[in-house]
Structure 1
Amino acid sequence: MAISRKGLTLMSIVGHIRTCLDHGRLYQYEPAIPVEAHLRIILLTPEMREEIDAELLDREAEHRTGAFLADLDHFIAGGEITIGDRRDKHAFLKRLEPEGEQVWELRSVDPEPSVRAFGTFADTDILVLTPMRLRTELGGFNSRAFKDEIRRTRQIWHGIFAPYSPLTSEKVTDYVNENVNDLRNTQ
């Protein structure tokens, strides 16, 4: 069965993802605690997977990394997701500016220091995470470090997915299909 997005068949990007998984260019994140159903998918680049593994081995970072992985598990299991813009301090996901770049940040805020994982949606409920950084390393919202991570995320996307484009929509439910709260609508 082919799923279409704006008149294009998705079999090609799904097939591309399968090929990347088969060849180690992407890894599907599996929850630390098995869940009945995976309602959403998180794909990791090899670098992101190595970052997570290294952080888990670091005794000082293992608790913070465990909380980050619990947030990934929450996303995969279909937990409620809040989406906001730069003013929404409690959003789980934010699309970063410029919005046309389609780079998102997944925000793991508890405990301090908070972690930001940058990524792009390949399709509805399929989030590809590239780098992650401690929020304290990024400076202000429009800092050079933030812009560098957005640029890096786009470069990684193109390196893995060219000629495919990331999912682009104004509807939040095109990114996260269900159990989503759009904080942008309440302002």
Structure 2
Amino acid sequence: MSIDNEMKTLCAAGKLALLEPAVPSFMVRRHVFVGGEARSFIFWDGSIDEDFESVSGRTFSVLERFSNGSYIAVGMDPHDKEARSQIARVDPVDQGIFAFRINDPNPAVRIFGGFAKVDVVILLTWWPREDCDFPSEVARCRAEWDKLFPNHPPILSDEIEDHVSKHFHIS
């Protein structure tokens, strides 16, 4: 089964949800799917510490910026990226996991996931930035990915164009 069909099946089963931008772009069509604890965090179902409620709202706006085709800064080198990067690859890079970086308001968080194909990201886990053990979070996110998509790893590439087609800046 193709990853597109698997995503449709998971959406129909309620395991993934597609975030629809309020104002879609006609220039770039990007898609953000959320599942697992990332879904609980982004849609704020009340199961998470209230300290993160305002961050959850901010996260939704950052994801909408990505999905509506706005210019984004992407850090491809986990150890050398600009502070303004909204998305960054996370070490170990051979796992194909990226983090959406939510820095304002505090406390800062990272939303972890991978690209299923160009302009399609699936976010599955999250963790507060403070004291984040990134290799452990990559492993945790990848384990969730592999449960949902055992035959389809996230995109594994050093080329930004294999992840995002237009309107990006490598930071």
| Stretches of structure 1 lacking an aligned partner (at least 5 in a row) | 1-10, 139-144
Looking at both structures, which has the greater relative contact order when contacts are Cα pairs under 8 Å and sequence separation is at least 6? 2
> Which is worse superposed, 164-173 or 101-110?
164-173
Superimposed CA distance per residue, residues 48-91 of structure 1 (whole angstroms, 9 cap, x where no aligned partner): 21233235987653322211111011011111111112222221
- Give the corresponding residue for 1:83: 74
Matched, 1:30 2:23: no
Contact 2:96–2:154 (CA<8 Å) still a contact in 1?
yes
- Which residue identity is paired with 2:38? M
- Which residue identity is paired with 2:71? E
Task: For residue 153 of structure 1, report the CA deviation from its aligned partner.
Answer: 0.7
**Matches of 2:114 and 2:123, distance apart in 1:** 7
- Give the corresponding residue for 1:68: 59
| Stretches of structure 2 lacking an aligned partner (at least 5 in a row) | none
Matched, 1:14 2:8: no
Matched, 1:49 2:29: no
**Matches of 1:131 and 1:107, distance apart in 2:** 13
RMSD: 2.1
Go from structure 1 to structure 2 and tell me whether the alpha carbon gap of 1:167 and 1:57 turns closer, same or farther (over 3 Å shift). Answer: closer
Matched, 1:40 2:30: yes
Go from structure 1 to structure 2 and tell me whether the alpha carbon gap of 1:129 and 1:174 turns closer, same or farther (over 3 Å shift). Answer: same
Task: For residue 137 of structure 1, report the CA deviation from its aligned partner.
Answer: 4.0
- Give the corresponding residue for 1:142: none
**Matches of 1:161 and 1:114, distance apart in 2:** 29
**Matches of 1:169 and 1:64, distance apart in 2:** 30
The structure with the largest alpha-carbon Rg is 1
Task: For residue 129 of structure 1, report the CA deviation from its aligned partner.
Answer: 0.5
Contact 1:25–1:46 (CA<8 Å) still a contact in 2?
yes
- Secondary structure in 2 aligned to 1:44? strand
Go from structure 1 to structure 2 and tell me whether the alpha carbon gap of 1:60 and 1:96 turns closer, same or farther (over 3 Å shift). Answer: closer
- Secondary structure in 1 aligned to 2:32? strand
| TM-score, normalised via structure 2 length | 0.86
- Which residue identity is paired with 1:113? P
> Which is worse superposed, 53-62 or 75-84?
53-62
Alignment size in residue pairs: 165
